[in-house]
Amino acid sequence: MRICELRGVGRRYPLGETEVLALQGVDLDIDAGAFLAFAGPSGSGKTTLLNLIGCLDRPSEGHIVLDGQDLGGLGEAELGRVRAEKVGFVFQSFNLIPVLTAVENVEVALRLGGQPKDRARCAAALAEVGLADLLDRRPAQLSGGQQQRVAIARALVKRPRLVIADEPTANLDSHTGAAVLDLMKDLNQRHGTTFLFSTHDPMVLERAGRVVRLRDGRVEAGP
Ligand SMILES: Nc1ncnc2c1ncn2[C@@H]1O[C@H](COP(=O)(O)OP(=O)(O)OP(=O)(O)O)[C@@H](O)[C@H]1O
Ligand SMILES: [Mg+2]
């Protein structure tokens, strides 16, 4: 079963009088349950591609089918609903809300998804990432690796089909980054959640189930 299919996907950004061709002619099939890394030099299109798959942006050309649904025909509100229902996000800079505790940060994700507040469920999500004892800490009272674990719990609490993580280890030291990656892989294997992430880090690539390399906005021919 495929979680995502891209056909002839391109994305241009207008820039003054000209435009930047950030992605072009991307054809890609991603299996449900994949643990897939996008690699490639800075500016090669990794973030652009993750944003398209995650319904944060739309292609300038081509088609994307996500979990059986063609995104091309959807209006803004519908695209937002698909995103809320199917996709969880983990960011390079964690993006936690500083005045909220760990468990409250996870609760925000449930409420944004239109679901009722459920502290027990959020506490369980945090327990799953090894933070059962730190529910009431605010982000400033947590280490970088712990903050990223809160972000992973927040991404997973709705049980999305897909988690998108743009350079999830970029702000972590290599030891902590490896632990976060191992945690993501464990969750991938236990729940079958598809993980798509981007990275510059060889340690991360080593742990990926599949690596897709981008260069100048194109997918490089793989093995
Ligand atoms: N909003 C924008 N307007 C114009 N050009 C953009 C915009 N966003 C990205 N680009 C350009 O699109 C190309 C791809 O950018 P993207 O951010 O996807 O690269 P990346 O592979 O994620 O790079 P990095 O590894 O540095 O994060 C780059 O040339 C970038 O300058
Ligand atoms: Mg990027």
Residue 114's pLDDT band (cuts 50, 70, 90) = confident
> Which residue's C-alpha comes closest to atom 1 of ligand 1?
13
* Residue pointed to by tokens 């080593």: 206
DSSP 8-state class, residue 220: P
Share of the chain above pLDDT 90, in %: 88
* C-beta 48 within 6 A of ligand 1: yes
pTM above 0.85, yes or no: yes
Token duo for residue 3: 């979680």
Domain spans in the chain, listed from the N-terminal domain onward: 36-58+75-219
DSSP 8-state class, residue 221: P
CB of 182 within 8 A of CB of 148? no
3-state secondary structure of 121: helix
* C-beta 10 within 6 A of ligand 1: no
Across 63-77, average pLDDT: 95
Q: What is the per-residue pLDDT across 24-59, written as a single tens digit (0 to 9) for each? A: 999 999 999 999 999 999 999 999 999 999 999 999
Domain 36-58+75-219 has CATH 3.40.50.300: yes
CB of 144 within 8 A of CB of 174? no
* C-beta 105 within 6 A of ligand 1: no
Ligand 1 center to residue 137 CA distance, Å? Answer: 35
Q: What is the per-residue pLDDT across 152-210, written as a single tens digit (0 to 9) for each? A: 999 999 999 999 999 999 999 999 999 999 999 999 999 999 999 999 999 999 999 99
Amino acid 122: pLDDT: 97
Query: What value does the mean pLDDT of the chain take?
Result: 94
Kind of pairing, strands 2-15 and 18-31? antiparallel
Instruction: State which of 23, 46, 197 you would mutate to test the pocket of ligand 1, scoring each by most atoms of that ligand within 8 A of its C-beta.
Output: 46
Residue 115's pLDDT band (cuts 50, 70, 90) = confident
pLDDT at position 123 over 90: yes
Residue 214: Cβ within 10 Å count? 21
Burial pattern 10-22, b for ≥16 Cβ within 10 A else e, equals bbbeeeeeeeeeb
